Amino acid sequence: MSERVSAAMAAALAAVQAEQAVDAEVDEAVRAAAEILADADEVVLLGHVNPDADSLGSALALGLALHERGVRVLVSWGAVDLDDLPPESLLTLDVAQLLVRPGAVPAAPEVLVCCDTADERRLGLLADRIAAAGTTILVDHHASNPGFGDVRVLDPRAEATVVLIRRLLDELDVPLDPEIGACLYAGLATDTVGFRIGGPGPHRLAAELVEAGVEAEPLMRVLVDSHPFAWLPTLGGILQAAELEPGVRAGHGLVHATVPHAVVEAFRPEEVESVVDHVRTAVEAEVTAVLKQVAGDRWAVSLRSRGAVDVAAAAVALGGGGHTRAAGFTRTGSRLEILAAIRTALADTGRT
């Protein structure tokens, strides 16, 4: 046997052993989290700042399961403002009225579950609840997550955090029903970009959820296909002003668009967050950036990649995080300064 073949076999064996080690670690974390939740009297579940369907879907799915077991449950999200309201399109998932505004979250929860939260900063004004809680459980799938909390159900291989919540529900012997299933489906469908990212696992889980009674079409219509008419010309103006820079990142190309503060203020997060899905369709660019002006010189930036560039690495360099194909950060500066920082980060750290 040649040295090259032997080296390849050794590398393959090492990869398998590494996967098995991660599997064992995640399995143990799931068991530990389930034991804590099974004995809890009160549980607070939090999604991240500007919650999406994966963060609140995860929190509500687990919250519904615990609520049905008689646990006192509150579900909320990381706060920039303690009077923040949740995304309107996600309210239909809250069938048991578990959602409360961030200002109503207890200062020291008995058990705190942080869902889809890439780091402590993603809880904003509620980040202090992590240390104050009796026990903190992290459930997340972001590769950039450094890990925090007492129990960490953290697996970057999972296509969405709801995948890990499903494992927790299994460990708790919670049967799927249409309400819990809808929460899981919402996070799964959106984080896989309509099942275009990931292997067969998300499709198997989706089939299981549909079999449990989830009606996918009306659910997804509310989540991603419903916007006010006034949004259409506004979106047209944003797209018309988008710019293509084909030379960025050694020719991979960058397309970027800007959402002015007046638009951010006038429309729901659902409209503002949908911009990136239109801009990223430009075939000439590997990387997409959408700059959302949340204050005068404060920008929330969404980054997307077709797969050849690791935008999570670039986002981490800019103070954010995420996944190889989808990431983001928040930063202060002028629009031109933010764009310059993105170009630099892509050149220095955005390699796969």
pLDDT of residue 4: 65
- Which residues does the chain have with pLDDT short of 70? 1-18, 21, 349-352
pLDDT of residue 3: 67
Question: Residue 329's domain spans which residues?
Answer: 231-349
Segment holding 67, helix H or strand E? helix 53-68
pLDDT of residue 290: 98
pLDDT of residue 18: 61
pLDDT of residue 352: 44
Q: What is the dihedral of CA 167, 173, 177, 182, to 10 degrees?
A: -20
Contacts of 206 (CB under 8 A, 6+ apart): 185, 188, 189, 195, 216
One domain for residues 211 and 244: no
**Domain final residue, candidates 189, 224, 259:** 224
CATH number of 282's domain: 3.10.310.30
**Domain final residue, candidates 224, 244, 276:** 224
**Domain final residue, candidates 224, 259, 294:** 224
pLDDT of residue 117: 95
pLDDT of residue 218: 97
Into how many domains does the chain fold? 2
The string of pLDDT tens digits covering residues 171-195 is 999 999 999 999 999 999 999 999 9
d(CA 253, CA 140): 30
The string of pLDDT tens digits covering residues 101-127 is 999 999 999 999 999 999 999 999 999
Burial of 100 (0-12, 13-18, 19+ CB in 10 A): middle
One domain for residues 183 and 264: no
One domain for residues 191 and 333: no
pLDDT of residue 328: 93
One domain for residues 174 and 243: no
